[in-house]
Chains A and B, each alone.
Chain A
């Protein structure tokens, strides 16, 4: 009986460990390093219209669309929040807001927070906050 209980406890412990790893509550900096795309499946990796993020080991990152960089800056994780400090130009996003054509060649500094959750091995979800703007996205790891 005691032996069965031990085996049961072992499997429960194992399950908790796997569950914890699957959620990966503490996103280690090493986890984030590499290439990511915003989308629902990894099929978007390398797609011409994909929005991508590259988190470098040295704490810098690059984000863009269609293989064209649109934001470059620094990233860091503090208290389970991913902080992005970056430089970008509104002119890059005139397809979203036409009036941003006036911001071409004008670069500004931005500070965004990404509250991440549902962290899995090759995928996590995040709610981004930039000033009064908020957005939700799913990041998929690319090989």
Chain B
């Protein structure tokens, strides 16, 4: 009885294994690919390679889905703030792009505020006029 059960168990397992192989070959296209790839190549490696590639594809799909979701979300507007010039760097002179008229007006303000002497005012004004 025990031997019969044992033999039945062996036959059942054999049939089960063959059924799995046949079912996978018929129903899962990737299995056929893997089976061909592993012929004479790698029994274990074929499965490992297929598993990693399959997993990598799934990971890529997840990444793609995440990227699509991220792209569909409204993005916060970036506000750029100009930093103060670092000491030692030369900022462009305010007078560089000023017209002679603006330069003279600024010069007038400086003289009225007492920032420059009348001599300096005259010399600077003369220089501006000479540059015309």
Q: How large is the interface on B (under 10, 10 to 19, 20 to 34, 35 or more residues)?
A: 35 or more
**Is the contact region of chain A dominated by helix, strand, or loop, or is it mixed?**
strand
B20 interfacial by beta-carbon distance below 8 Å: yes
C-alpha gap A111/B87 in the complex (Å):
62
**Is the contact region of chain B dominated by helix, strand, or loop, or is it mixed?**
helix
Instruction: Verify B13–A110 contact, CB threshold 8 A.
Output: no
Whose C-beta in chain A lies nearest to the C-beta of B53? A97
> From residue 80 to 139 of chain A, which have CB atoms closer than 8 A to chain B?
80, 84, 88, 90, 92-93, 95-97, 99-100, 103, 108, 110, 112, 115-118, 125-137
Instruction: Verify B21–A136 contact, CB threshold 8 A.
Output: yes
Instruction: Verify A130–B47 contact, CB threshold 8 A.
Output: yes
C-alpha gap A96/B56 in the complex (Å):
15
Out of A49, A51, A84, A117, which one reaches B45, CB within 8 Å? Answer: A51
A interface residues, how many (CB within 8 angstroms): 46
C-alpha gap A62/B126 in the complex (Å):
93
Instruction: Verify A19–B20 contact, CB threshold 8 A.
Output: no
Out of B14, B24, B43, B56, which one reaches A118, CB within 8 Å? Answer: B14
Instruction: Verify B17–A117 contact, CB threshold 8 A.
Output: yes
Whose C-beta in chain A lies nearest to the C-beta of B38? A135
Instruction: Verify B13–A65 contact, CB threshold 8 A.
Output: no
Out of B6, B44, B51, which one reaches A20, CB within 8 Å? Answer: B6
